[in-house]
Structure 1
Amino acid sequence: MLDKSSIVIPIEVMSEDESELARELQICNACRYCEGFCAVFPAMTRRLDFSKADVNYLANLCHNCGACYHACQYAPPHEFMVNIPQAMARVRLETYTQYAWPKKLGALYQRNGLFVSLTLAFSLLIFSLAAHVQTSNQMTSHLEGNFYAVFPHSVLAIIFGVIFGFVLISLGIGVRRFWKDISTDRATTEAVIEASTNALTLKYLDGGHGEGCNESDDAFTLMRRRFHHFTFYGFMLCFAATSVATMYHYVLKWDAPYPVLSLPVLLGIAGGIGLLIGPAGLLWLNLRRHDQHGDVRQRPMDRVFITLLFLSGFTGLALLIWRDSPAMVNLLAIHLGVISALFISLPYGKFAHGIFRCAALLKSSIERRQASNLNLGSD
């Protein structure tokens, strides 16, 4: 029988939330009822105790599906107070803050709602003023859907190229530091392929048994996994649309606007629809989710990111529908303001969870292969 007083945590410089997660993982390691639920629990059982690096790694490996909380015999109101999804969510936020680059900007995670709101307001103001200046001497009804008559392509390429470059550098440095702390192992091609497949299919949002996540009750549902797929692939289709349009402009010398049945427009339509369905569904699930699922203090950060994704799809589709109308200029300014705010906030908001989770999935794949090789060797 487990005795709460017998749970020993290694003496190490950990935060309060990291120490709490280490305590709960010790209890889970003794119980092992959830061993087959997801990648977290097999990785957990390979350890006898938990260092700071272990705790950060396992927290980012968690997909917050909720299955272990609903199955746990030690969950509140039991005196052990084991709530793995909540404890891991709190440690994940500390991880993002700790590995943020530049480090001082990690504080933006703690004030993400305010940061994104101010960024959105500023971006909308700048693009609206710029659009007004650019078209002050033109008849907006004669622009005929030509976005680049309002904002030259080269100007947009520079603005968003700088923003996107900073996003890549910031997240790249952060996840590289995270990887150096959690792993000294070399990634094999097989491990990379497996981790990439698990990330792209969101394998561990199936609750470990294929039936899905637990939402506001004990019922299983795959809705969260499906809405994530709509969101992610909608985002990637929009990115592909922009990339193809850029190739048309610079390589093929085809000037915008492009016909509705052209590849960049079709990709944009499909992506925009995905960014309507996915974020709307995720926001609906988030509003209904039980308080014990994850960290309620992070819900503003979750919701503002979901809302920005939804607005990206909504304003993009609205711009396409009314691109030949006088409303095009204002719609273009609004859409660019939303996209600008989304990308500027990526390194210091909920988007970081996908980057750090991919790193954790890669380590999990490496570890699993090492364990299998050791077992084969012992046979």
Structure 2
Amino acid sequence: MIERETFVALIENSWQREAKEYLKALEASRISFTKLVSLGRSAEIPYTLFFAPVDVVEAQLKRRQEVLLRGVSKGTFSLNSRGTVLLADVELIVKDILRKQELLKGLDPALPDNAFVSALRRSRRTVKDDADWLIAQLGVDRSYLLRVKTKERAFEHLLDCLEEHNIFVSQSMRNYMPQAIPKRARFSGICIRDKKVPFLFVNNGEHRDSLEPAGRRFLTLALLTVCLARGKFKPVAYSDQSDDPIDNREYEIAEEMLMPAASVAGLGVSSLGDVKAHANTYCVTPSAFLMRARRLGLLDAATARDYMAILREDFRNRPKTQARQPKPVNALRKYNSAEYSRSLLKQMDAKRLPASEITRVLFQNRKSVSLNEYRATL
């Protein structure tokens, strides 16, 4: 016999709470010992804990949460009602990134503090000054962003600037992460705390019916960058389809980074076609540019709402864009972060890390992935 309360508490606080074995067990009020052990192993729960008193289980759950929340603040940093994410939805991903952080710090004790972590926490400067500081310090080329031909390249430029400053960017890649993100999880990314090895995790939206548009991911990455600089380590649930400008300091700084008021304020916005054209210029979604134009008074609230309604309908009716199946080395590079991968390979080349650890940490023990091929992608 095991206590139902204990069984439910352990699985409900893990990423396996939607597993078929768990749901069947709840319905039947029984589970075979073999399946119990298997379920526990998948959820990273020692099976003996299922037989422990409830107070012991509660203490273990509290301890586990404290360890996880060292990297991610409790709760959801939600800018509107787009949705929420539970810690269990990304538990194994957060654990994996926390392990990556600890590994690199252990290999390189002299690793300096990252200058961007919480750099703007106590800033009393204006939104423009904070945005300009980030752009200048990261080396973001605004003129390049204005002439780049695709929003994907704009995203990659910002990503490269971040990684050049040892801010590691991990992108969700289905089938190449420790866990699948459930469809109901509505979040855009997570800023994961560490003063030496900060990570930004960008959700590409592959767990839902279609990929997140590149323009939305671009603004999400900017928003996560601002959160890092302002010491906000929480999941970001971001939507660019709000009727009114988002009243949030982090969002306003991100908006100013990519769509500077000095540049946008002089633009003409007399039609939805203008909105879409300017959105392409600044490599964001039409909805994001519309909110920026609304904040700067380039069009009135009623017109903005009408345009937003049309954009929402267009978005709902857009062709579903499924990601192509990437080569394993490319998918792993995006999930691991290219710069983090380079850092570990340097440690391997310096004989401080065996090649078997590269296979475990970066390749998730995939023996079929070639180390030389992976290095070539970096």
TM-score by length of 1: 0.28
Using CA pairs under 8 Å that are at least 6 residues apart, name the structure with larger relative contact order, 1 or 2. 1
More helix by share: 1
